[in-house]
Structure 1
Amino acid sequence: MQDFIVIGGGMAGTSAAARLADLGSVTLLEMEDALGYHSSGRSAALFEENYGHGPTIDLNRASAAYLRDGGYLSPRGLMLVGTKDDAEGFARDVDELQMATLELDEARAMIPILNPDTVGFAAVSGAAEDIDTDRMLQDFAKTLRAAGGQIVTKTPVTAITRSASGWEVTAGGQTYQARKLVNAAGAWADQVAALAGVKTIGLQPKRRSMARLPAPGGHDVSGWPMMIGVGETWYAKPDAGKLLVSPADTDPVDPHDAYADDMVLAEGLARYEEMVTEPVTRVESNFAGLRSFVADGTLVLGPDPEQPDFIWCAAQGGYGIMTAPSASQLIADLTAGRTPVLDASAVAALSPARLR
């Protein structure tokens, strides 16, 4: 009998399992061949403290020290660009993201492919940083293993039942037992809850498509900031000498191994092309991930109010990587009965109890 079974080996589940390993024995179950296969491995991986709203920003800020002290961050920057017709939306985004406005020649000095005929506004935040997602995920996995935790991959969960002392989980033809169950199954979190007989939270996965382009015009893009359109209608981020461009789509879909929608991707690339002087002549590859939300767009973290030995670590949306250090710490603190670092109002806003 284990103390904890964690279902889901993305960043959320792996970080939660690592934190809980200080409190007892942990088995992490992942249905794919490796950790971080789905959304965690398909993230833009940018840390911007002011990205999100309310308790999400609280989580971002609470994660900052862990990310910096661990050496997971490196300089990137974020540039907001808009057309001459985007004045209202541009002003709103500048205020929300606490950015500094730029003259067009200043913006083009940073990103020389910006089109002076279409870009009417630009602003920048130097605080945005890249996150070394893979190293952070592997470090959490190492922490879990060092504490005696078990990671079992290629193990899809097929049944969950109550036992006299907690939970029995059937996965990969084996039965696992634990006193507490952590649901970190990403887009499948409501399906896991239904298997366990726990009331679902109305989780909705939404597709996010990406295209990988050659460096435009042969430029060295390594020092460019990430670009984002007003209202987050597209973004482009340097990545290993290439450029990742996304239409920032949020189309509702069922949980699945996501793939990019060709038409949606083409429309997003057209929005990007409008703002630059270099046309898209070749897409080297494309992929997609799922960002999962509940109705209020805020993460769901903590014990279920009706079945407190069923712990939610779900609805990360687009914030799961940057919030993982603080979200996993909150899960461990609530489980251990410790006072969380976050204030009580933020904890309540993240609790699954708000959805009942």
Structure 2
Amino acid sequence: MAEATMADVLVIGGGVAGVGAGAFIAADARVVVLEREAAIGYHATSRSAAVYIRNYGNATLRALNASAEPFLTEPEGVSDRSLLSPRGQLMIAREDETSALDAYLDGASGIARIAPEDAVALFPILRREGLAAAAHEPAASDIDVDRLLQGLARLLRVRGGLIVTGAAVGALARSGGAWRAETRQGVFEAPVVVNAAGAWADTVAALAGLRPVGLTPYRRSAAILPAPDGFNVSRWPLIVSAAETFYAKPEAGRLMVSPADEDAVEPHDAWPDEMVLAEGLHRYEQAVTTPVTRVERSWAGLRTFAPDRTPVVGFSAAAEGFFWLAGQGGYGVQTAPALSRLAADLVAGRAAALPETVVRALDPARLAAPGPGRAA
């Protein structure tokens, strides 16, 4: 039997969730992060829209967003300056989308309705005809995702942690009080394993003999378009339809446009569906006054959701030392600081900094269901 590398905590998954959790946990423990790809952040993290929107998501997610904001603004140990830069979010609604806008504004803070004419002033190519309502969230910000991820990886290493790439886990079992993970890069053992495997998190659970919690990866596509002739787009806000049929934001002097697609797929290295992308670009084109003339490049990523669209964070009730950190959906980057801190608190056995109502809402026990294998 191969000699194992020993640790206190193994983290499976090297996206921003896994690297972030590893960095925070490493303040108190020896941590090894196992990443299946050749580099960290390869899948969802590097394909994110990279925007912090405090009001994005349900009540639990909004609480996580608010908790993460101070760290994103003052990322001690990760960067010497804020990871956020001003962007703003403009939500627009046709007459048939006004109820969706009303629902988004319910319980939201820092966002206000504005006149359609003011919306056009913020996003000058917006088509005024058919625009029934709009709302503006000035504090929405771009996130420097690469600086966040690399800063967390650096912090993890400074604290004595190890990141192993090309280390897809092929077997995972508990024996003698420790989890044993077998990879092409060697064997690793620790009393605690954190399942931060993103779209593959239910697969990792199955390796451990646990029932899946019902995570579903959904494809989300995006394209880069040239800036409209005669316009400097750099200070325009992110624009999103209230029914989320498309969104667009400035990106390095161009416009990134997404059809906001959400097609259920198996875990894989995602690529865009050309027809889905074309349909989304058409919806965007109907909302603006300038035609789409060229796509410079396109890509897709996976956003993985639990059935209730709330992250799954906490120890399994069925397997000692198995910790879930999954189901972040489209909120993974902006909630990473809050969930990393929570993971560190729970793994260390100390009281969480987050409100108890939020911690309970994240608990994997809520998703337990009958079936073969042990419960989540």
2:16 to 11, 17, 20: 11
SS at match of 2:357: helix
Which 5+ residue runs of structure 2 have no aligned equivalent? 1-5, 76-81, 369-376
Which residues in structure 2 correspond to 1:67-86 (within 5 Å)? 67-70=72-75, 71-86=82-97
Aligned-residue offset at 1:114: 0.8
Number of the residue aligned with 1:106: 118
Give 1:82's aligned amino acid: A
Question: 1:43-101: CA deviations, max 9, x gaps?
Answer: 11111111111211111111111011121111100001122443333333343544322
Aligned-residue offset at 1:120: 2.8
Number of the residue aligned with 2:233: 221
Aligned-residue offset at 1:178: 1.1
Q: Does the Cα contact within 8 Å between 1:118 and 1:274 map onto a contact in 2?
A: no
Moved more, 164-173 or 58-67: 164-173
Q: Does the Cα contact within 8 Å between 1:15 and 1:140 map onto a contact in 2?
A: yes
2:293 to 268, 275, 281: 281
Number of the residue aligned with 1:336: 348
Number of the residue aligned with 1:346: 358
Moved more, 242-251 or 117-126: 117-126
Question: 1:108-149: CA deviations, max 9, x gaps?
Answer: 221110112232322211021111111011111001100111
- Whole-angstrom distance in 2 between the partners of 1:221 and 1:249: 24
SS at match of 1:154: coil
SS at match of 1:86: helix
CA spacing shift, 1:173–1:35, aligned 2, 3 Å: closer
- Whole-angstrom distance in 1 between the partners of 2:105 and 2:161: 44
Moved more, 171-180 or 275-284: 171-180
- Whole-angstrom distance in 2 between the partners of 1:177 and 1:218: 59
2:59 to 54, 61, 65: 54
Number of the residue aligned with 2:163: 151
- Whole-angstrom distance in 2 between the partners of 1:275 and 1:110: 14
- Whole-angstrom distance in 2 between the partners of 1:138 and 1:69: 16
Q: Does the Cα contact within 8 Å between 1:93 and 1:231 map onto a contact in 2?
A: no
- Whole-angstrom distance in 2 between the partners of 1:174 and 1:275: 53
Number of the residue aligned with 1:33: 38
Q: Does the Cα contact within 8 Å between 1:102 and 1:124 map onto a contact in 2?
A: yes
Which 5+ residue runs of structure 1 have no aligned equivalent? none
Question: 1:244-289: CA deviations, max 9, x gaps?
Answer: 1111111100000001111111111111111100110000111001
SS at match of 1:313: strand
Aligned-residue offset at 1:230: 1.5
Q: Does the Cα contact within 8 Å between 1:189 and 1:314 map onto a contact in 2?
A: yes
- Whole-angstrom distance in 1 between the partners of 2:307 and 2:45: 22
- Whole-angstrom distance in 1 between the partners of 2:293 and 2:132: 25
TM-score by length of 2: 0.92
Q: Does the Cα contact within 8 Å between 2:60 and 2:358 map onto a contact in 1?
A: yes
Q: Does the Cα contact within 8 Å between 2:166 and 2:184 map onto a contact in 1?
A: yes
- Whole-angstrom distance in 2 between the partners of 1:87 and 1:12: 34
TM-score by length of 1: 0.97
Identity %: 49
SS at match of 1:119: coil
- Whole-angstrom distance in 1 between the partners of 2:17 and 2:98: 37
Give 2:249's aligned amino acid: K
- Whole-angstrom distance in 1 between the partners of 2:115 and 2:29: 56
Number of the residue aligned with 1:263: 275
Question: 1:193-237: CA deviations, max 9, x gaps?
Answer: 111112221111011011111112342111000000021111001
SS at match of 2:36: coil
